[in-house]
Structure 1
Amino acid sequence: MTSLSASPSFSRLSDGCLDFFVWWQNEMLQMRPHLPWRKTKQRDQRQVVIGKSGFSLDGGAFQPLSTMGETLLALKAAGDFQDDAIRLVLNDTRYLERTISHRRLPLSILKRAAELDILTETPFRVEDVKILLSEPHKRDATYFILRRDVIDELRTQFRHAGVEVSGIYLGSGQVEVLSGLRPADFSQRPHRDIRRTLNWLLALLIVLGCLFCAYQVQQKTSTAAAVLEVEIGEASKQAHAARARYDQYAKKSQQLQALKQSKKLEVVKAWEELSRILPDTAFLTDLTIKDERVAIAGFSEKPATLIGSIEASALFQRAQFTSPVVKVPGFAGDNFHISFEQEEQ
């Protein structure tokens, strides 16, 4: 049992592109103004009609198909061809026309439906025939069946004559074949399959896309690295500045701590000396040391004797009252304020 051949995904993609091309062509033709010279030019080109009884050149009598190559070769040698190209028309005796649906279908869907129709409704095998699709100018879904042996014979004759086919048409020459058979199939020149070309183009586009993506990633990475390097440089400068400020702060802290320690020692020495020389009848309420100057305040029953006791000390000199001695109610003794200097050690 013959089965449908699995079509590659790229084939479906090309069929979809063909659908778009047909739609775009129809839209362009509707907007194109009527140009009579187009038909005149088309009629001036030579035309060969293929029928069941052979071939007919420019409306002449039908001749055996096996002699077409020699006939075209002779006409080409005589210079009767313009641009060495000819229109190929297959009349209705060379193909079978079938209608799948009375509704218009896209060519990609029509092609798959035609394969199924051949398998189920005709005695032909898909491998033995060619499915031809034309522009769906009608309101129905129609396709055409052409035997492969006819195509092989036509290819042999055209290549023998070295004549190029400008277009393939059906019936009276008004319906152009868009899919299934191409003029390049009859060319003597070696040509590459359009699908292979499209495959290479698609692969090239994928490679270019990957390279472009890699370039973009590399550019973004380089930009990010440059920005990061700048940020690291700025952070390094800030870190060095912060370190310098910290070192300066630590140095000042050490100096301040040493100064505090030295002041503490001076206060302790002054307090010890005052505790030794002052009488028991006197007590201090305040002791201040500023710029080698010591100020004391307190109460004593005999404040006048305090100046002599302080002057007699080896650590102090130039003692004097800084305010009058006064009697404070509620306290034993008189309130005094004395200032003196420390001897340099």
Structure 2
Amino acid sequence: AVLRRPLRLPAAAAPRVRDVVGFEIDRQTPFEQAQVHYDVREGEPLADGQLQVELVVIPRQAMEQWLQQSGSWAGLLAGVDADDGNGQPLGVNLLPASQRHVARDPMRRWNLLLGCATVLLLALAGTQLLANRENAADQLRDQVNAAARDARAVAAERQQLQQLVDGAAFLEEKRSAQPSTLEVWNELTRLLPDGTYLEKLSVEGRTLQLIGLSREASQLVPLLQASPLWTKVNLTGVLQADGGAGGRDRFTLTAELQPLPGATPAPPAATPATEVADGNAADAP
């Protein structure tokens, strides 16, 4: 049998209603709090805001006797309720919290294992995803470096081609600026009289120098002056007799070479556009 007492409490007692009701046991019942097991049945709040509760107590001795009569079932009980007199439970738990049996979920261990496996699989998937992204970044970096190397090779070949073009243009300009050595030689062969021998023929820049022997050394200047390939023909120094039986004089002549008739100097080479190819990858993703 249990003892029931209806109580009214202020609304401020709502957070600690069970503790507040516990202090009322010795006033509402013939027992002290240490002599009973109790629980609180909460009802609907009243219109004035007060709490309507019901104190339900059972003597400890009666509870212990009932548990002893239950035998081995006593250790498996999660709670003890009381009858409201109409065959319906009151909805309270008079069994002390220390004696309540906590039913374990049989699937709890499997659920824990599944949870751990799920976390492990997610970690492995994240690691694999990170590794895939790093591999993709490495492949992209290799492609960029290969493209940069190709670009540098193309730029180097273009630079070499431009240098060849510039060299050809320079040679063409030089060729147009003055007659070639072969042309000078042919012109000298045509103009120099018989009995004239050359010991040295040199071209330094636009200066032509002739050293040789001739029976008509004094007539060489007007003979050579008639050529369109050079101007300013002059004897350098004095004529020196060879002293041989041929009657030749040693001479030294200089002249200034002129551009070929009708020759047009080559246009200056165009400055190549600067191309830059950089293959540094640290600066993916």
Q: What TM-score comes out, normalization by structure 1 length?
A: 0.42
Structure with more of its chain in helix, by fraction:
1
Larger radius of gyration: 2
Larger relative CO (CA 8 A, sep 6+): 1 or 2?
2
